[in-house]
Amino acid sequence: MFPDEVKRAVYEAQNGYCKGCLNRIHSIHHKLHDTAYNRKKFPLFINSPMNAVGLCYKCHRDRSHLYRVTEKEAEVYEEWLRKLANK
Question: According to the model, what pLDDT value does residue 27 have?
Answer: 96
Cα angle 60, 63, 67; round to 5: 90
Q: Which of 4, 86, 1, 6 is nearest to 48 (CA)?
A: 6
Question: According to the model, what pLDDT value does residue 87 have?
Answer: 60
Model confidence pLDDT, tens digit, residues 29-85: 999 999 999 999 999 999 999 999 999 999 999 999 999 999 999 999 999 999 999
Q: Tell me the percentage of the chain whose pLDDT exceeds 90.
A: 97
Q: CA 35 to CA 21: how far, in whole Å?
A: 27
Model confidence pLDDT, tens digit, residues 19-43: 999 999 999 999 999 999 999 999 9
Residue 12 has pLDDT above 90, yes or no: yes
Question: According to the model, what pLDDT value does residue 44 have?
Answer: 97
Number of structural domains in the chain? 1
Q: Which domain holds residue 50?
A: 4-85
Residues with Cβ within 8 Å of residue 70, at least 6 apart in sequence: none
The β-bridge partners of 52 are 30
* Contact status, residue 16 vs residue 28, Cβ threshold 8 Å: no
